[in-house]
A = this chain, B = another copy of it.
Amino acid sequence: MTVRQIENMLGLLEFFAERREPATLADVVRHFGWPRSSAFNILTTLVENGYLYEPRARGGFYPSPKWMQVISAISEAEPLPESLARVLRRLAEETGETVWVSAPSGVFAVFLDVVESFQAIRYAAKPGKRVPIHITASGQALLTQMPPRDIEVILNKVTFDDSGPNAPKSVEEVLQRIDEGRARGWFHSASNYSTDLGGVSVPVTVSGRPFSVTVAGPLSRVQGKELKHATMIQQALAEETDQN
């Protein structure tokens, strides 16, 4: 079961991130269609805890710097390695496609950082996006770095429901693709999950944590470039990171 009020408040945060200026109670109500009293309760809760304030005296609410204080404490403790950020920037330039770093999260791979392609037709994704770990290139590149026991546990829980046309259809097929990818040094996907999306992913371990770096775009544009992209990723990783 999901907690509605938490989703509401995440929605509110994203609302402010887009709007980028204070909003009144009425603005919030208009945007979300929430009952006034409910919106009022949400705003009040945030205000009383110091996470929302009224910058210009009766000119609406806006998230306070307290967020920054808390979040930066959190992300300084377990930061995305700077080397991977460099790799992303470099690959974005070299490939012209959307590139990202993922990490495992249960039966999913989460995107930790994304640099979107500048091209009009591109794979649009944001940090926090999750894709099934077993049928995507990003995911398989993560799985391959785990001890067999962990892989087994995770694959025990996956389903093959939301797969694309070219996705593996059983745990055995997944294990086979992992073996292939491991031997090859990179993983690829062609409409495994999102139709018409093709991508190449390379596993990398930085300070003991498993990541994968992926380059992806519309199939029409990336097909045939798998080896080229894989090599670019590997080279970028080799040159930008020390401990690998």
Report which A residues bind B (CB closer than 8 A).
Answer: 1-10, 13-14, 16-18, 20-22, 41-42, 44-51, 53-58, 62-75, 77-78, 80, 103-106, 110, 112-113, 126-130, 142, 146, 150, 153-154, 209-210
Contact status A50-B17, CB under 8 Å: no
Q: Per a CB cutoff under 8 Å, which of B74, B113, B209 touches A20?
A: B74
Tell me how far the C-beta of A193 lies from the nearest C-beta in chain B, rounded to whole angstroms: 16
Once A3-B5, A3-B41, A57-B150 are accepted as A-B contacts, the answer to whether A47 and B77 lie under 8 Å apart by CB is no
Once A20-B74, A128-B49 are accepted as A-B contacts, the answer to whether A56 and B104 lie under 8 Å apart by CB is yes
Q: Per a CB cutoff under 8 Å, which of B5, B8, B16, B106 touches A74?
A: B16
Once A45-B3, A49-B7 are accepted as A-B contacts, the answer to whether A67 and B75 lie under 8 Å apart by CB is yes
Bound: A58/B105 CA distance, A: 8
Q: Per a CB cutoff under 8 Å, which of B1, B6, B53 touches A103?
A: B53
